[in-house]
Amino acid sequence: MLSFLNFFVFFLRSFFYLFTLIRKLISFFLNFLFLIILIFIFLLYLENKGFNKSDFGALLLDLNGVILDHVPSESFLTSNNFNQKLFFSQDEIIRKNSLFEIIHSIREAAKDRKIKGMVLKLDHLIDADQPSLRYIGKCLKEFKKAGKPIFSIGENYSQLQYYLSSFADKIYISNYGKIDIHGISNYRMYYKDFLEKLKIKSHIFRAGKYKSAVEPFMRNNMSHESKENHFSCLRKLWKDYLRTVSENRNIKINDVFPEINSMIKKIKSNRGNITKYLMDQKLVDYVIEKTNPEEKFIEKFGLSRDDNQYNRISIYEYKNDSTRRNDKFLGKRNDFPSNIAVIFVQGMISGGNEENYENSSIANSENIVKKIRQAESDPNIRSLILRINSPGGTVSDSEKIRNALKSFRKNKKFVVVSMGGMATSGGYWISTESDRIIADQTTITGSIGVFGVVNTFESSLEDIGIRCDGISTTPLSQGPIEYTGINPYLSEILKISVDHNYEKFLKYVSLSRKKNIQDVRTIANGRIWIGSEAFKVGLIDQLGDFDDAIEAAMKISNIEHPSLEWMFSDTSLMENLIDLFSSNIKNLFISTIILSQKKETLELMRYGYNPYDKYITNFNDCYAICLHCNISYK
């Protein structure tokens, strides 16, 4: 009887404790939700406080961070603005900017009577690819043609920042400031000796002598073929940079970047005064400290009552306002049903088991295929613009996307490929299932080749007294190959697989470009091509930008009034909450432990700029990817 009473008391106490725990959890959740709502209301207040300006004055193009074709969909909670106000200052978080939102805002401002001109302030712009800069530059020219002046102001200018600034009517620089125009290069680390010292064996399988992604594992330097191929592209990119800047500034190319000895001589003649050298070369117009541009801007744009500076509105504020005011956001119209779908393939093409289902560095094949099928099932959609900015990825995932496009076209619908900064290897693989391919003259494309890499550690382990042994029923069922090595049978199968996928790649290109296989082989072999050269050898149909892709889609689909359906992914509230706190905890952790590192290193760590290396040594698939193709001005 006593034991029963004790059990009953224990049961009641346990139930009471459980009830108390549940009650506290519910209370915590409700308090947390209430806090989020308060923060939401407070930030809405900050967002709109002082925003109702009768006269905007200047559009302040204060781009911060990196420019991407597509920024993964984000809610208010996961937006850059929310993060900056709640967790970090503007300098502490790397903003990801949508190229097409920038384009839209500039074009809206060109028509907006409240916008009298533009001020470029690009001190915190970190990176963008060349076609993106050219597209923005085109819109800056349109802005000027609308009769609105552009000014650029900065303490210093990076090579990338100065490219956009060269479109300005006047450029201001700080006394003792500099413009870091230095050229374009392509360097990477090579590990052959390092791997040999650690007794790590790299088993390389590749089809295409120019397929340089595997070279770091098999060489100590860049091969002659790779140097020749990459230098050809770099030289044309550099010429385009110099030509554009010289035309914008109305000076000679040699004034933009003189022969190196001549440059040193000129700097010496100015006693090391870089600012005076820049003025002599007509790369800048005014020194900030001597001319006080603030007074000129106040005269031009009016005086702001908020801070006694010139009237201005940041492009980030203006972007939010212009998208609310204009129902034709980025070609989306309410007066016509959507008839052209836009789908992005940005980053490495990979499968559905990756950590990030959709982010700026992974093009998830399952997500992309799902969007293509949605567009296919929509009776109003007659064309699809596939915007590609990818170095490639796995063969199997590239093939999934290509098959989805093939199904789309079988329904008498059309596919136009618009290439961004690069569409190489697997990026070109999926382009073969299209009706028209359009690329910028500075797009990097091609790299038609396939490879695989397997690193094994059996010798390394043996050297420290660790061995892997066992028994298997066939030569293909041996233990983990990382520890036992690759036997000749498996090696031969992997080689056959790579060669087979390469031949399949050639066949797709042959059918798409209406060339015989032998002609395709001469332009394949893993060789990369810059857009202008890719057009000459027949890998693309037209040189142009996204505007030209829209026109092409209209023409082949016989569409008179285009209405774009931008097929972004939606995320749930719970996903947004998880992303919000996990991303900011990661950023906070990095900021705490690496304070001694240079700012550039911290920025690249946060942004995760080159996430592809970890994939290529996991031979769970053949790879069609170009790891040397991501070239930028910065």
Position 25 scores a pLDDT of 75
Pick the last residue of a domain from 310, 325, 340. 325
Is 400 in the same domain as 318? no
237 against 37, higher pLDDT? 237
Total count of domains within the chain = 2
* pLDDT (mean) for 189-215: 91
Position 15 scores a pLDDT of 61
Position 600 scores a pLDDT of 37
Is 287 in the same domain as 415? no
pLDDT band at 314 (very low <50, low <70, confident <90, very high): very high
3-state helix/strand/coil string of 241-290: HHHHHHHHHCCCHHHHCCCHHHHHHHHHHCCCCHHHHHHHCCCCCEEHHH
425 noted as active-site residue: yes
pLDDT band at 39 (very low <50, low <70, confident <90, very high): confident
Residue 24 scores a pLDDT above 90: no
* pLDDT (mean) for 254-277: 94
Is 287 in the same domain as 350? no
Pick the last residue of a domain from 274, 303, 325. 325
Position 321 scores a pLDDT of 65
81-122 pLDDT tens trace: 545 544 444 445 688 999 999 999 999 999 999 999 999 999
Is 336 in the same domain as 310? no
Is 545 in the same domain as 492? yes
Is 442 in the same domain as 312? no
Residue/partner pairs of 155-160 with CB below 8 Å, 24 or more apart: 155/123, 155/288, 156/123, 156/180, 157/122, 158/125, 158/633, 158/634, 159/241, 159/633, 159/634, 160/125, 160/126, 160/127, 160/128, 160/133, 160/632, 160/633, 160/634
Is 301 in the same domain as 450? no
The region of weakest confidence among 285-294, 354-363, 520-529 is: 354-363
pLDDT band at 519 (very low <50, low <70, confident <90, very high): very high
pLDDT band at 26 (very low <50, low <70, confident <90, very high): confident
CATH number of the domain where residue 140 is located: 3.90.226.10
pLDDT band at 3 (very low <50, low <70, confident <90, very high): low
Is 343 in the same domain as 276? no
Q: Which two tokens stand for residue 84?
A: 């900056």
* pLDDT (mean) for 315-321: 83
Residue 285 scores a pLDDT above 70: yes
The region of weakest confidence among 212-216, 584-588, 612-616 is: 584-588
Is 397 in the same domain as 472? yes
Residue 394 host element (H or E): strand 392-394
Residue 50, phi-psi category: left (phi > 0), alpha (psi -120 to 50), beta (remainder): left
Selecting among 166, 361, 365, 425, the annotated active-site residue is 425
Task: Give percent above pLDDT 90 in the chain.
Answer: 63
282 noted as active-site residue: no
Residue 220 scores a pLDDT above 70: yes
pLDDT band at 210 (very low <50, low <70, confident <90, very high): confident
Indicate whether 236 belongs to any domain: no
Indicate whether 237 belongs to any domain: no
Pick the last residue of a domain from 309, 325, 341. 325
Is 294 in the same domain as 337? no
Indicate whether 34 belongs to any domain: no
Position 625 scores a pLDDT of 66
- Facing residues of 207 across strands? 450
Indicate whether 502 belongs to any domain: yes
Residue (of 370, 430, 397, 393) closest to 568 by Cα position: 370
Task: Give percent above pLDDT 70 in the chain.
Answer: 77
Is 450 in the same domain as 384? yes
Is 371 in the same domain as 497? yes
Position 184 scores a pLDDT of 94
141-177 pLDDT tens trace: 999 999 999 999 999 999 999 999 999 999 999 998 9
Q: Which two tokens stand for residue 77?
A: 């909670």
Position 194 scores a pLDDT of 94
Indicate whether 33 belongs to any domain: no
Indicate whether 232 belongs to any domain: no
Selecting among 211, 371, 400, 413, the annotated active-site residue is 211
What is the secondary structure of 543-583 as a DSSP string? Answer: E--HHHHHHHHHHHHT-SS--EEE-PPP--HHHHHHHHHHH
Residues 507 and 621: their CA atoms lie apart, in Å, by 20
Q: What residues make up the domain containing 82?
A: 57-183+247-325
Residues 6+ apart with CB under 8 A from 566: 330, 332, 342
565-581 pLDDT tens trace: 999 765 544 444 445 44
Indicate whether 465 belongs to any domain: yes
Q: Which two tokens stand for residue 441?
A: 């003259």
Residue 238 scores a pLDDT above 80: yes
CB 455 within 8 A of CB 211: no
Indicate whether 593 belongs to any domain: no
Measuring CA to CA, how many Å separate 511 from each of 53, 374, 498, 539?
Answer: 57, 26, 20, 12
| Most confident region among 36-45, 92-101, 198-207, 590-599 by mean pLDDT | 198-207
* pLDDT (mean) for 275-286: 96
